[in-house]
Amino acid sequence: MGILRETSLSYSPESIARKYLLHNGRLYLDGSVSTEVYQWAVCRKKVYRYVHSPPNIVGGMMLYRALDFAARAGEVPKSYFTMTDGEAYRYLLEQCNPRTQVLAQRAMRWQFYALVFNFRTHAPSEKLREFVENLETRSSLPDDLSTAFRIPQEDICVYCGKSRAWKSIDLPLLSPDADIPAPVTPLKPAWMVQAYLYPEHASLNEAVSARVKEVIGCLS
């Protein structure tokens, strides 16, 4: 996919897999691979940096918004979750409300929305954490922006989430003397808020960005 520029991995999965140890009845990793474990974490971070990049997120957010409108309209039966990907997409395109259909059509045609606000932090306030983790507040923000700027609800999407680029390594790493855990530099997760707008409303990009920034500022 071209996510990583390096031609080869900076760690060996096989080397890490061979270094599991059983010590005093507990499972550990040999500390000699601590550098490779750290490089694995760095590699994971790079991959998720792409996964959470605007070009990759925007299509998913458009479909998320489409499905949200369908759910609000009571158009998501239990059978929806047993459909194939193609059947599920066709259902959004053909059987749901106009807003859902518009979003699904645009995503299918790669008519992606423009990024107008991009916030990321590794040290979120408690208020920001609660905002990002609360489904109701996450869903209400794009609706509030739609009302404030008098644009169709389907023309704006907001992503609020926490990057999975960081992975806690719970398995202890033993140093050569099998006494002191070998250190692994921690990587902190990123908390993100991104706003996307249909290109037709480009004249509102700065105003929408300023409004979202104001909302986030109140949570910091």
Does 180 reside within a domain?
yes
Does 46 reside within a domain?
yes
At residue 12, the pLDDT reads 87
Report the domain count for the chain.
1
Does 5 reside within a domain?
no
Does 12 reside within a domain?
no
Report how far apart, in Å, the C-alpha atoms of 63 and of each of 30, 59, 69, 93, 115 are.
44, 6, 10, 11, 16
Residue 48 pLDDT exceeds 60: yes
Residue 58: which domain range?
A: 21-219
How far is the C-alpha of 66 from the C-alpha of 113, rounded, in Å? 13
**Tokens read off for 92:** 């959004």
Query: Which range, 40-44, 154-158, 185-189, has the best average confidence (pLDDT)?
Result: 154-158
pLDDT single digits (tens) 67-85: 999 999 999 999 999 999 9
User: What DSSP assignment string belongs to 136-175?
Assistant: HHHHHHHHHHHHHHT--GGGEEEEEEE--------S-EE-
| Mean pLDDT confidence for 187-191 | 78
pLDDT single digits (tens) 157-188: 999 988 766 666 666 777 665 454 444 555 67
Residues in Cβ contact with 22 at an 8 Å cutoff, skipping those fewer than 6 apart: 28
Does 71 reside within a domain?
yes
Indicate the pTM of the whole model: 0.77
Does 160 reside within a domain?
yes
Does 202 reside within a domain?
yes
Residue 42: give its domain's CATH number.
1.20.1250
Does 6 reside within a domain?
no
Residue 146 pLDDT exceeds 70: yes
